[in-house]
Chain A
């Protein structure tokens, strides 16, 4: 996985520091810290991991090891409108994969990537508990049910 070069601002560093402090800078709290930091920044770029490692007094290699182990953590920024396609059992059998393929085609990105303009990102998840509406797609906070491949274009139009 390649890392993304960004320059952290003082206030970003202060924010990470704050989060680490809220967990008493305890190395054992690494996963919780990363969780919160990702919620704040949207993703975990290399420099953010470097700061976290520093604050928790552990090696950045260990932090990176944890980030790459759990699929929840990402080093790629999410789009302004993150798209999640449910590929849980119910959605899958009702054609989620075809819907996913259509999103990939329309956006020209793979799962886990973002569009170059940073508008959309594409991810899969397993079951949002709305199996009756399968297949389900979430864009940000909004949920779309009974999605078919030909509806994909219309969904994307909502965010122009």
Chain B
């Protein structure tokens, strides 16, 4: 390995050839400020257009300043990262960006989490000497994501996520110069585009240009309405990340405090999406075995692999891009929607409340879930099964707004009957978890034997594409796992080409799965946070007494009392769905 020696701020450093000045400086503890630069190392995601010039440094012997993020180290370089020339240049750069940026920090959704705001503070900017025209653009509100392009600083991070990582291809820089904006093709609104609402663009946007649709005010009104019974479900990935918003170390589980906080906020019943995740396994696992046995019996009509269908961004992705394969994914609804469907029938009957007066709210690590609950097929006479969804971030904001001292809350349990869950449901929150949960149940149902060990390490990990073979008592089941839509596309192209060797595939749209969802606390480029959440999810699973979905006593009772059997008529009606060909939904008005 060829190495290079150079001097940064009078310190000698030796690095590999091809290392940028930014990386070299970091190696010796010098954190050069950046704005457009993004590096999610473990996920192999990098954005370094060298566009914002915030990271400029002074190089002895070079006339102009160099962008540290996009300049490779060379032998003998002498670099100054905080000379007066550098500090002044950085200040001017940020002042120029601010001169074309709205001054509504006080009421901006991103305030406190805005990288431009903190940079302006860090650089000691107290005035904007430049005044002139500001670029303006219409606000675009979709069911899940709001685009406020006036706040865009053209860092292009969202473009990298949307095009290179997710391969969705909605966002692109258009026009030129002062009129340049990031927008969908033909400047259509997001809801006319092939956007999946995965929210990865929101996660990486440094400013308030991309944010989630806020449902907290609607929730506050509903909670205050004595006519309404308001119930809540919380997704597994939320408990592994919510604590970060209250200063806890990443990976701290706050399940009990979260249940307690939701009760404090005034929800009438605090339930768990994990209950519905167990239910999903009952349906999806049964469907897997059904399709598998028919396929093995030689039924040519039955197609394999079966694909998971819990992720709404993934569902919208294949509806737009692979509609010809829309009979491959499982027909099982997502846990969020199964919960809503059961809450507004079984549970509403139990407590004697009309479905219109029962408000079902979900707390999700996701913004696509906002879109999912607005889909027409999940409504009965116009009344949605899940009324609306709020993100982990929104919940944290709400707890702070209500003056609840989160850290000193006692640990409480979920309510019954829709709060009981197993470890299999918890791991839905991370990549590999849904298929592991399905395997735990499918194995026991198929073989009639009890698993000696419920941990399937071979299905775990954070590699974007993984595969494993599970031995079902002689039947070798090939399983594929993809997270991130770009990886999903690779598996889908294989299936399309007739080259797929899998029986079952799990797909989650976000890198890391739901723990890295578009509605989670911002990680500001620190991908170790995703790893910590990943570990926390498996820790929660391990701590559970019950770890297989079919052993959940309240699920067993639900089938006995209400649903009949998995894939039965009632289950089919309430827990399954169908998909649409959205290729023809051409985005030209």
Contact = CB atoms under 8 A, between A and B. Distances in A.
Interface of A: 1, 3, 5, 46-47, 49-50, 58-65, 68-69
B169 A60 contact: yes
Interface stretch (B139-147, B180-188, B236-244, B284-292): B180-188
Given A1-B187, A3-B186, A46-B186, A61 B588 contact: no
A68 B184 contact: no
Given A49-B185, A59-B185, A64 B588 contact: no
B185 A69 contact: no
B186 A69 contact: no
A59 B588 contact: no
A58 B169 contact: yes
20 contacts: A1-B186, A3-B588, A3-B589, A46-B588, A50-B586, A59-B168, A59-B169, A59-B170, A59-B172, A60-B186, A60-B587, A61-B169, A61-B171, A61-B185, A61-B193, A62-B172, A65-B172, A68-B176, A69-B174, A69-B176
B586 A61 contact: no
A68 B171 CA distance: 14
Nearest to B179: A68
Contacts of A50: 586, 588
Closest 9 CB pairs of A and B: A59-B169, A61-B172, A65-B172, A61-B185, A60-B185, A64-B185, A68-B174, A3-B186, A65-B174
Most buried by B among A49, A65, A69: A65
B99 interface: no
Contacts of B30: none
B111 interface: no
B188 to A, nearest CB: 9
A77 to B, nearest CB: 16
Interface in B164-214: 168-176, 183-187, 193
Interface of B: 163, 168-176, 183-187, 193, 586-589
Contacts of B163: 59, 61-62
B174 A64 contact: yes
Nearest to B167: A59
Contacts of A65: 172-174
A60 B588 CA distance: 11
B588 A63 contact: no
Nearest to B588: A46
Contacts of B186: 1, 3, 46, 60, 64
Given A64-B185, A68-B175, A69-B176, 10 more contacts: A5-B588, A5-B589, A60-B587, A61-B172, A61-B184, A61-B185, A61-B193, A62-B163, A65-B173, A69-B174
A51 to B, nearest CB: 11
A58 B183 CA distance: 16
Contacts of A5: 588-589
A62 B176 CA distance: 13
Given A60-B169, A65-B172, A69-B176, A47 B588 contact: yes
Nearest to A6: B588
Nearest to A62: B172
A75 to B, nearest CB: 9
Contacts of B172: 59, 61-62, 64-65
Contacts of A60: 169, 185-186, 587
A34 B588 CA distance: 19
Contacts of A61: 163, 169-172, 174, 183-185, 193
Contacts of A3: 186, 588-589
Contacts of A62: 163, 169, 172
Which of B168, B172, B589 has the most CB atoms of chain A within a 10 A radius of its CB?
B172
Contacts of B171: 61
Nearest to A58: B169
A64 B310 CA distance: 33
A151 B169 CA distance: 50
B161 to A, nearest CB: 13
Contacts of A69: 174-176
B156 to A, nearest CB: 11
Contacts of B173: 65
Contacts of A68: 174-176
A1 B184 CA distance: 12
B182 to A, nearest CB: 9
A117 to B, nearest CB: 24
A64 B184 CA distance: 9
A50 B588 CA distance: 10
A5 B173 CA distance: 23
B198 to A, nearest CB: 15
Residue of A46, A47, A63, A68 contacting most chain B CB atoms (<10 Å)? A68
A77 B419 CA distance: 61
B185 A63 contact: yes
A47 B586 CA distance: 9
B184 to A, nearest CB: 6
Nearest to A61: B172
Nearest to A69: B176
A112 to B, nearest CB: 14
A3 B587 CA distance: 11
A150 B331 CA distance: 73
A69 B163 CA distance: 18
A64 B176 CA distance: 12
A130 to B, nearest CB: 29
A42 B22 CA distance: 47
Contacts of B183: 61
A58 B163 CA distance: 9
A30 to B, nearest CB: 12
A99 B75 CA distance: 60
Nearest to A65: B172
Contacts of B187: 1
A69 B175 CA distance: 5
B135 to A, nearest CB: 15
Contacts of B174: 61, 64-65, 68-69
Nearest to A60: B185
A102 B305 CA distance: 68
A62 B182 CA distance: 10
A1 B169 CA distance: 20
Contacts of A47: 588
